[in-house]
Structure 1
């Protein structure tokens, strides 16, 4: 059988705030032979998942610039589930199988899916140790419980953590367009934060084969004459471009342009005039413009 469906009274669910010792909970438990964790990995997503056919899927997911989250998704969209809680359950082959572990996190279902945050490390450590994941939730005011068993969890966790270490440092949302600002008359970037972002952009491009062009545009405020501003904006754009090449970017991807004081983003008579002293870096990717 793929799924074991049980009814229990006063079982291990007593540790869940959702269920009292006198309440019955309907339980589904993954068959041992189906307790393997599936890994999906790329430089932009790491995902560890297990599906209990006909009931639910659990997954650990991580994307660039986001924390690892644990997701329980019920397979029936009209499930009308509300509250949910998750805890680690000791595998039944362990000596301390009867020990009740505390609830790790609780949450609310949205469209038959609940997300738990800030528990990624604990869950990964538990899977690596061979333990199971147990979810308690309310559905039509009835108490339900889903248990995901664990086969070869240690290998799956190793692959997941290797995926995390190779993940892009920033997301496409961050990489696609960035702005770098300059002091009056200055043409070089020096802040550690700006330099780190440029390095991350280069790393992102090395991982995303769909990036076809990188546009570097330099600007100034309206202080000085047009000729001097055009030269200064070119120097600023060239400085950013040279940094990108220094960090490993293929120079053939670059298109560098200078605009002087044209195209201000804010009125030069305001205190925010410095926003016009900028260089923008914009990535062009297939199918996104």
Structure 2
């Protein structure tokens, strides 16, 4: 992905570049915001004039983002920004709260400032419009797309309900997790217990999970026999926490490896910290290898 420059602007009238005289905008009677979602994603989408779409998207365990995809841009974008505009029929309509964008490929703009996007959604719910602007690398003009808030609030309510029911993680986030331990310890921290609870939330939802593999490891401190026992205690501690949050222990396999399989050479304390770990892996029973449930 190509990172693009920050654009710092105070109001639409202070743009240092030439902006196309007329922003691209769908006729107001054709504007729609369409909601879709499930336990892993919530999305609002509005079609653009000519082709493409603008999307507000939230995925499990991720921050909200706005994307704009269009096939009308023949050149790569050098910089892009997302702004909130007062309703255009106001006597003095200003643009504010700029969000830096980045490109993905030649056709998609992405905006990921979580705090400002949440503010944008709240303001659009009250009637403000959004506007996406992009400057082309081979031209100094700026193309602008208007995103009117027509029929926005209804879809936003569905979006908010969906977001409140999102699972804390999806399969790519849940399928492989590492939990590290202090020297000689098998106790889980509060943060680790919360992470295990998030993994369990996914396990409860996905009925295609066949096996949960828990592998305990140590560094090379001490003797190998003691390390094998410590690795087992660490793995059992994770199993006990999964059981505590309702995971069926019949699906769990606990294995202890001691110091045999280090992630890094045990040549310094930083590396040893990485080796003192338990790995939790989720294996689907259908063996599809797909990335999401």
User: In the aligned structure 2, how far is the partner of 1:231 from the partner of 1:78?
Assistant: 62
| 1:114 partnered with 2:109 | yes
- How far apart are 1:240 and its partner, in Å? 0.9
2:277 alignment partner in structure 1: 278
TM-score (norm 1): 0.79
Instruction: Note the residue ranges of structure 1 that are not aligned, 5 or more in a row.
Output: 1-12
2:178 alignment partner in structure 1: 179
User: In the aligned structure 2, how far is the partner of 1:72 from the partner of 1:38?
Assistant: 15
Contact 1:214 1:283 in 2 (8 A): yes
1:134 alignment partner in structure 2: 131
Query: Helix, strand or coil for the counterpart of 2:95?
Result: coil
User: In the aligned structure 1, how far is the partner of 2:203 from the partner of 2:52?
Assistant: 36
Kindly provide the CA deviation profile for residues 126-162 of structure 1, in whole angstroms up to 9, marking residues without a partner as x: 2212332223334544443322223331121122122
1:45 alignment partner in structure 2: 41
Kindly provide the CA deviation profile for residues 166-191 of structure 1, in whole angstroms up to 9, marking residues without a partner as x: 2232354442222223344433x231
- How far apart are 1:24 and its partner, in Å? 5.3
What value does the CA root-mean-square deviation take over the aligned residues? 3.0
2:289 alignment partner in structure 1: 288
1:8 alignment partner in structure 2: none
- How far apart are 1:266 and its partner, in Å? 4.0
Q: 1:132 to 1:97 in 2, by over 3 A?
A: farther
User: In the aligned structure 1, how far is the partner of 2:68 from the partner of 2:260?
Assistant: 52
1:123 alignment partner in structure 2: 120
Query: Helix, strand or coil for the counterpart of 1:75?
Result: coil
User: In the aligned structure 1, how far is the partner of 2:110 from the partner of 2:267?
Assistant: 48
Which contiguous aligned blocks of 4+ residues in structure 1 show a shift greater than 6 angstroms? none
User: In the aligned structure 1, how far is the partner of 2:23 from the partner of 2:266?
Assistant: 66
User: In the aligned structure 2, how far is the partner of 1:258 from the partner of 1:57?
Assistant: 51
How many residue pairs end up in the alignment? 271
Query: Helix, strand or coil for the counterpart of 1:49?
Result: strand
Instruction: Note the residue ranges of structure 2 that are not aligned, 5 or more in a row.
Output: 1-10
Q: 1:27 to 1:185 in 2, by over 3 A?
A: closer
Q: 1:86 to 1:235 in 2, by over 3 A?
A: closer
Query: Helix, strand or coil for the counterpart of 1:99?
Result: coil
Alignment of 1:15-164 (within 5 A): 15=13, 17=15, 19=17, 25-76=21-72, 78-91=74-87, 96=90, 98-102=92-96, 104-107=98-101, 109-110=103-104, 111-118=106-113, 119-138=116-135, 140-164=139-163
- How far apart are 1:215 and its partner, in Å? 0.3
User: In the aligned structure 1, how far is the partner of 2:224 from the partner of 2:97?
Assistant: 67
Q: 1:26 to 1:240 in 2, by over 3 A?
A: same
1:234 alignment partner in structure 2: 232
